[in-house]
């Protein structure tokens, strides 16, 4: 399909080189290239840009099955090529659309917030939902319901639903205390390996930095929401925070754990939304690969990298 696309839409000759690409295909001729990942939108742009960097492609075309303007917006901000949506009879250029406004958290939740604060949880508002975290791991949330906002306790959706069925009539303070007693020991530096300390590691890094942002040379660091809601706790999404640098400039800090192909495109959305004058990309030194550093140079503001210590076990 990619080979046919570049010949039809880009008018390239028959000597196009077609190769595999992360479950899809790529095609190139000289400095012109196109990539396609079947059924994958998240991370598609970042992966395509890293491929283009490796192969010296400077006229990049990214084909995806569906885009609501999200990937096209990021590509435009990074000056990173053209996004196409695959159609039955070919492909169409996707028009970039603005990042939508976030819905506000539900009103009338002060009493529920007080319960969370009593347990000294980290509170983050994201896309209309108030999330309570323990060292970056969600243990409760306040979500809108037809009967009014409700506090749901549990790690992830299935745990919350099970807790509501089995302990729905129990005191919320007791349920939170039990949840923290169960997961808390696994979210400590030096804890034994456990599935709980493999979750949301990027948020764990952010939590530690909010407590002590001095290694980043940033002050007043507060969590902010990602550009889009996370699919689930097992899906790593860079954890953003906003602060000010030593010159008083608004600074966006993006925390990631592992090699995040979507890190730079995701950051491009938040630079605009947060009005950042500079960016810090923070994570483990081993994950800050040179191709990602080069890709970060496409961002419209100065970027620096911060290497953080790993708080979780091997």
Show me where the domains of the chain are located: 2-93, 110-187, 200-307
Q: What is the mean pLDDT of residues 80-104?
A: 88
Confidence band, pLDDT 50/70/90 cuts, at residue 23: confident
How far is residue 297's CA from residue 289's CA, in Å, rounded to a whole number?
Answer: 13
CA 210 to chain centre: 18
Q: What is the pLDDT of residue 65?
A: 86
Q: What share of the chain has pLDDT > 70, as a percent?
A: 95
Judged against a pLDDT cut of 90, whether residue 247 lies above it is answered with: yes
Confidence band, pLDDT 50/70/90 cuts, at residue 165: low
How far is residue 249's CA from residue 252's CA, in Å, rounded to a whole number?
Answer: 10
CA 314 to chain centre: 23
Judged against a pLDDT cut of 60, whether residue 255 lies above it is answered with: yes
Q: What is the pLDDT of residue 164?
A: 64
Handedness of CA 228, 232, 237, 239 (dihedral sign): positive
Rg (CA), the chain: 22
| Short-list 268, 125, 124, CA closest to 210 | 124
pTM beyond 0.85: the answer is: yes
Q: Of all helices (H) and strands (E), which one includes residue 269?
A: helix 263-274
Q: What is the mean pLDDT of residues 124-137?
A: 94
Q: What is the pLDDT of residue 163?
A: 64
Q: What is the pLDDT of residue 67?
A: 81
Confidence band, pLDDT 50/70/90 cuts, at residue 41: low
Helix (H, G, I), strand (E, B) or coil at 52: helix
Confidence band, pLDDT 50/70/90 cuts, at residue 221: very high
Q: Per mean pLDDT, which range of 45-49, 57-61, 155-159 is the poorest?
A: 155-159
DSSP 156: S
Q: Are strands 32-36 and 59-64 parallel, antiparallel or unpaired?
A: parallel
């Amino acid at each position: 399909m990619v080979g046919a696309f570049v010949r039809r839409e880009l008018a390239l000759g028959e000597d196009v080189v077609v190769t595999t690409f992360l479950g899809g295909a790529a095609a190139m001729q000289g400095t012109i290239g196109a990539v396609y990942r079947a059924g994958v939108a998240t991370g598609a742009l970042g992966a395509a840009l890293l491929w283009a960097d490796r192969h010296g492609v400077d006229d990049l075309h990214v084909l995806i099955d569906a885009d609501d303007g999200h990937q096209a917006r990021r590509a435009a901000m990074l000056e990173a090529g053209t996004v196409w949506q695959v159609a039955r009879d070919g492909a169409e250029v996707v028009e970039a659309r603005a990042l939508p406004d976030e819905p506000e958290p539900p009103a009338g939740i002060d009493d529920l917030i007080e319960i969370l604060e009593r347990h000294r949880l980290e509170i983050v508002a994201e896309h209309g939902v108030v999330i309570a975290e323990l060292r970056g791991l969600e243990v409760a949330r306040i979500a809108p319901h037809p009967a009014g906002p409700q506090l749901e306790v549990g790690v992830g959706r299935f745990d919350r639903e099970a807790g509501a069925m089995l302990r729905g009539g129990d005191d919320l303070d007791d349920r939170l205390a039990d949840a923290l007693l169960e997961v808390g020991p696994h979210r400590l530096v030096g804890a034994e390996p456990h599935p709980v300390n493999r979750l949301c590691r990027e948020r764990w890094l952010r939590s530690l930095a909010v407590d002590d942002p001095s290694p980043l040379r940033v002050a007043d660091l507060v969590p902010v929401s990602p550009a889009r809601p996370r699919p689930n706790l097992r899906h790593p999404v860079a954890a953003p925070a906003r602060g000010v640098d030593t010159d008083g400039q608004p600074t966006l800090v993006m925390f990631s754990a592992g090699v995040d192909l979507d890190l730079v495109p995701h950051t491009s959305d938040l630079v605009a939304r947060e009005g950042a004058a500079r960016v810090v990309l923070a994570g483990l030194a081993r994950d800050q690969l040179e191709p990602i550093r080069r890709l970060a140079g496409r961002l419209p503001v100065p970027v620096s990298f911060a290497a953080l210590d790993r708080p979780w076990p091997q």
